[in-house]
Amino acid sequence: MMRIRPMNRRERAVTGEVRVGTSTKQLVRRVAPKHIIVIRHRDIDEMAATAIIAAKVKAVINAEPSMTGRYPITGAKLLLDAGIPIVDIDPNDFERFADGMEVTIQNGGIRTKDGGFLAACRPFTMDDWVRLSAEAERNLGRQLNDFIDNTLQYAGREKEFVIRPLPLPPLSTPIEGRHVLIVVRGVGYKEDLQAIREYIEDYRPVLIGVDGGADALLECGFRPHMIVGDMDSVTDEALLSGAEIVVHAYPDGTAPGLARVRSVGLERVHLVPAPGTSEDIAMLIAYERQAELIVTLGAHSHMIDFLQKGRPGMASTMLVRMKIGAKLIDAKGVSKLYNRPPKLRQLWILPAAALFPLGMLGLIHPGFRRVADLLWLYVKLSMS
Distance, CA of 183 to CA of 211 (rounded, Å): 9
Distances (CA, A) of 326 to 184, 192, 330, 333: 20, 21, 11, 13
What is the C-alpha separation between 242 and 237, in angstroms, rounded? Answer: 10
Helices within 90-245 (DSSP H only): 126-163, 189-195, 197-203, 213-219, 236-239
CA dist., res. 126 & res. 292, Å (int): 48
Find out whether 329 and 294 touch, Cβ atoms under 8 Å: yes
Q: What is the pLDDT of residue 142?
A: 83
Q: Could you read off the pLDDT tens digit of each residue along the chain, which spans 384 residues? A: 444 444 444 567 999 999 999 999 889 989 999 999 999 999 999 889 999 999 999 999 999 999 999 888 899 999 999 999 999 999 999 999 999 999 999 989 999 988 899 999 999 999 999 999 999 899 888 877 887 777 777 778 778 878 888 888 999 999 999 999 999 987 778 888 988 999 999 999 999 999 999 999 999 999 999 999 999 889 999 999 999 999 999 888 889 889 989 999 998 899 999 888 899 999 999 999 999 999 999 877 666 666 766 666 677 777 888 888 888 888 777 766 666 665 544 544 555 555 555 555 555 555 555 555 655 555 555 555
Contacts of 334 (CB under 8 A, 6+ apart): 196, 199, 295
DSSP 275: S
